[in-house]
Amino acid sequence: MKVLITGKGGQLAWELEQLAPEVYDVISVGKEELDITNETLVNAFIAEHKPDLVINAAAYTAVDQAEKDSEIAYKVNELGVKYLAQACKKINARILHISTDFVFDGESTRPYQTDAKPNPINIYGASKLAGDIALNEILPEASVIVRTAWVYSVNGNNFVKSMLRLMQEKPQLGIIYDQIGTPTWAKGLAQWLWLIADKPEVTGTYHWTDAGVASWYDFAVAIQELGLEKGLLTEAIPVLPIPGTAYPTPAKRPVFSVIDKASAEVVSGLNTVHWRKQLSSMMDELV
C-alpha cells in the first residue's frame, strides 16, 4: 500500500514517519513540496503518485493567530481538505484526517461523544469543522476523521516543551486550572492511525486522546514533577493555579473538552493509556 503523509515537519507527521510500518511505501511531504491550498498542485501530485491512502496531518494550528488570519486558517483547514478529498475521489484513494476537540463549545460536563453537536467558539475550531464537513460531503465512504486534543511530541513546539523552558527561566508560573481536557502524546495517535490505515472498512468519526482528565495546571505540575525526576529540570519553582480570566487570549477556549474514546478503542483494538504515563514516556525521549 502506498501512503502519502501531508504536513511533514509537524508533530503528528513526524511521529507517523517514525512509526511507519515497513511494509508500506510511505511518502511524507511538507508545505514546500505539497501546499494543500494549491488545488492544481494537489490534483497533479495525487494523480502522479497515486497513493492508496492519504493521512492528512497538515493543518493551520495557530489557534490565537487564526482570529486575525481567518482567511488562511480556512484556506488550509477547509479548502486544503476539500482539494485533497476531491483528488482522492478521482483515484479511489482513502483519507485519514485529523480534527480537533475545538469543534465543541465546552459547555458539556460529560465527555463528548462522536455524534455530539459541534459548536466551535473560535475561528480555528470553525475552520477545522468546515474541513470535516467538506470531507464528509466528498468522500464519506472512504474517509476517517479522528478528533484529538492537547497534542505534544518531542518534535515541534508544544505545552510540554514550553513548560520545561519556562520552568528554567521564570521564578514562578501561573497556569490555568479551569480549562479541562486530556493531553495526547502524538505517538499514541500515530499508532492508532497506522492501525486504522490497515482497516479499509473503517469510516466515520472517532475520538482519540490519551486516557484521563486534566487541567492545564495539573498538566504543568506533572511536567515539573517528571522533569525533576528525570533530570530535565534541576530546581522546583512554584506553579500557581490561575483562572482562565487571568490569562486572556485572542481565541476563546472551551472550558471542558474531554472526548469519549470508546469507539476508537473498539475499532482499533488499541486501548488509550493514561496521559501521565504517556507524558513520562515522551519525557524519556527528551532525556
Ligand X SMILES: NC(=O)c1ccc[n+]([C@@H]2O[C@H](COP(=O)([O-])OP(=O)(O)OC[C@H]3O[C@@H](n4cnc5c(N)ncnc54)[C@H](OP(=O)(O)O)[C@@H]3O)[C@@H](O)[C@H]2O)c1
Residue type, 272: T
Closer residue to ligand X in complex, CB, 211/237:
211
- Report residue 263 as a C-alpha cell: 469507539
Closer residue to ligand X in complex, CB, 57/233:
57
Residue with nearest beta carbon to ligand X: 10
Cα-Cα end-to-end distance for the chain: 35
Closer residue to ligand X in complex, CB, 57/197:
57
Q: What's the closest the beta carbon of residue 32 comes to ligand X, in angstroms?
A: 8
Closer residue to ligand X in complex, CB, 156/244:
156
Closer residue to ligand X in complex, CB, 100/224:
100
Q: What's the closest the beta carbon of residue 26 comes to ligand X, in angstroms?
A: 16
Q: Is 124 a catalytic residue?
A: yes
DSSP β-bridge partners for residue 4? 27, 54
Q: What's the closest the beta carbon of residue 36 comes to ligand X, in angstroms?
A: 4
Residues at the contact surface with ligand X, assessed by CB under 6 A: 6-7, 9-12, 30-31, 35-37, 57-61, 76, 80, 98, 100, 128, 148-151, 156
Pairs from 23-29 (Cβ < 8 Å, separation ≥ 24): 24/197, 25/1, 26/2, 27/2, 27/3, 27/51, 28/4, 29/4, 29/5
Closer residue to ligand X in complex, CB, 22/32:
32
- Work out the number of other CB atoms within 10 angstroms of the CB of residue 168: 13
Closest CA to 237 of 140, 185, 170, 155: 170
Q: What's the closest the beta carbon of residue 267 comes to ligand X, in angstroms?
A: 19
Between CA 17 and CA 87, with CA 129 as vertex, the angle to 5 degrees is 60
- Report residue 137 as a C-alpha cell: 460531503
Catalytic residue among 83, 124, 206, 217: 124
Q: What's the closest the beta carbon of residue 146 comes to ligand X, in angstroms?
A: 9
Any residues with CB less than 8 A from the CB of 108 and at least 6 apart, and which?
Answer: 116, 256
DSSP β-bridge partners for residue 259? 112
Report the C-alpha gap between 213 and 257 in whole angstroms: 9
Q: What's the closest the beta carbon of residue 6 comes to ligand X, in angstroms?
A: 6
Report the C-alpha gap between 64 and 86 in whole angstroms: 29
**Annotated active-site positions, please?**
124
